[in-house]
Structure 1
């Protein structure tokens, strides 16, 4: 059993990467020291006990905030039932979810028939059920000073790399050249903030290298 700090929990459509278009329950965990400058969930960075509150207040949030509630895997599963969620795919995101031991949660969910996906920066070792789908969005040379580790590279089912310029492609090439990297991982490029220059670069590079393009489709259609 492990206690998780949950900033958000909601049902939507997965908008990125391999599972694009699939209904999903998102569990967004609080806490991240990586420091990505373009991060669109900066409200999840700080783990301050002053922002801990009750479950219903967090579930009722209508805007981003640092408020979170604490829950173990059994409470989360019961909340899925209380909220009458229909999706059978769970995305554990953040923040940086790999800061937590997710073995108990992922094992319980898979035992109950859910598919489970973790979205991680690769800067913490992943503790999860072996059947968990690992989406690695490697964060290189970020403000927090954390390095992308070998273990997440080994476990990655997909490597979804956010890019804005050529140096980001070069960083990805260097990661893929590491012996630890799973050679079977699917490679996606995702333009940062839908910038036109980044999108053009991503498209051209995907064609050249036979990689895949990931667009944040949830932002295009205006859903969370």
Structure 2
């Protein structure tokens, strides 16, 4: 009996430079999946929240969107690999984002892409069980007390290679401290603070905290460069 092939709802697929976290500056293929119930009020990709059959399109239309939209295409891992080659993508680092990509079983995607020489990274809220390959770099940006009511999972925090936490005020650091006590990560997990919207006070707070605790600062390089 043949295994069931997984289909992934792809909202966007493009090549750029990773602008955040440990791989800042790395050429990357961004694979944005459709669907997210977490409901972060400040989310800049709210068009990915709902996965409606009415918005399903073919791969060509998804690739050629002129502006963000809820349109998505259903693609297998093999079809995605073929699209990478057709588009002439040169990057070997693939960032799986969303939406909330951990809603989906990504193990087949990892098997296919890693078998073709790609490295995978997932960016997740930490609120869903992670179904990724052993080699996938896991970036958890924990979403706390969001309207969707989902809790950050201890197993996601333990699997995290880096925890990237947006901050604007001291209360955001305090909330992270409570989370780290409830869901302790591994000793080798990188903890990075990311100032929200490059605000000066948020940046000063993040820098001071990172120095005091030997954490890392994550700036959104792509926003400074004005690239996607």
TM-score (norm 1): 0.98
Q: Tell me, yes or no, if structure 1 residue 6 matches structure 2 residue 10.
A: yes
1:55 corresponds to: 59
1:13 Cα deviation after fit: 0.3
Decide which of 206, 223, 226 is 1:222's aligned counterpart: 226
Q: Deviations over 1:184-204 (max 9, x none)?
A: 110100011112221111111
Q: Which moved more, 1:98-107 or 1:187-196?
A: 187-196
Contact 1:107 1:128 in 2 (8 A): no
1:179 Cα deviation after fit: 5.2
1:117 Cα deviation after fit: 0.2
1:197 corresponds to: 201
Q: Deviations over 1:97-129 (max 9, x none)?
A: 000000000121111111110000000010011
Give secondary structure in 2 for the equivalent of 1:177: helix
In 2: Cα distance, 1:105 partner to 1:188 partner? 27
Contact 2:129 2:153 in 1 (8 A): yes
**Unmatched tracts of structure 2, length 5 or more:** none
Mapping 1:47-196, distance limit 5 Å: 47-178=51-182, 180-196=184-200
2:24 corresponds to: 20
**Unmatched tracts of structure 1, length 5 or more:** none
Give secondary structure in 1 for the equivalent of 2:123: strand
RMSD: 0.9
TM-score (norm 2): 0.96
Give secondary structure in 1 for the equivalent of 2:182: coil
